[in-house]
Structure 1
Amino acid sequence: MLPRVVRFDLLFVRTDYSDDDAWRDALAAATAVHPSNDFERCGAALQPVESPELSGLTSAQLVGLPRADYLAELAVADAQTMRDQTVLFVDLNELNKQVGRTFRAIPSQVEPIVANFSIANMDFHEFADNADPDGVFRGFTR
């Protein structure tokens, strides 16, 4: 079961357990304070979830897990995250009829994504629709 969310954090579910150092590096990169001209940053509010039962689960399998509370999105640290530190986001919001949709984000974009999700300022599709052809969101302005 996916745990209850603390405060307005987003769950950051670890599904790859092959390299603890890579996990620590990915978590540090995702929650780091990255410089920005947009707004004052304080780091992404992510709640790490580690459980060996989650090892190897795909986004489709994560969607089907029971949850302690309602969750609209998940952040996931999968095998690719351990290689390149991109964070996988999975849509769980049943109201938008895109449950299971995914996109990845570079570490510097994780905080604005999480912040916008937490205050319902932007929807999942706004980031997913603006991901590059490789499925990675690198920001709205380049």
Structure 2
Amino acid sequence: MNVVRVQSLLSGLWAGLLLAVGGVSAPSLFAVLERQAAGAGAGQIFQMEARISLGMAVVLFVLERRRVRDLVEEGQSTSAMSATLLMALGALFLTVFGGFVLHPMIQAAKAGQPTALSFGALHGISAGLYWAKTLLVLVLAWRLSAR
């Protein structure tokens, strides 16, 4: 199986995961559970998603580096910083920032500890970054499937 097909499959699965978590799972929890329990459940789901996203971004990064290296070894002139690589790195950054920087701040704000921003502001920023990551991964999957 060639590298681009694997990248296309992984990015498509990743995009599906992000859409399912953000568009189905989290809203469904708030539709059927009490707000505090739904928030706790959604927090767990998003933490699991962040770990999976971290792994997906790293695998896609490594596969893209391999693909570019193979092209260079074949004598083709190509940039080491491909659009695929930049999108994978962008999604990786958004995952790390949202899941491992903002999430602890949200937890602290929810617990009543002082934070630079309110719970609502942190939640809004986190949601915006999540959907930006989702859009980035959707574009990545779209571009890879066109190869």
**TM-score after normalising by structure 1:** 0.28
Largest Rg, 1 or 2 = 2
Higher strand share: 1
**TM-score after normalising by structure 2:** 0.27
Q: Which of 1 and 2 has higher RCO (CA within 8 Å, sep 6+)?
A: 2
Higher helix share: 2
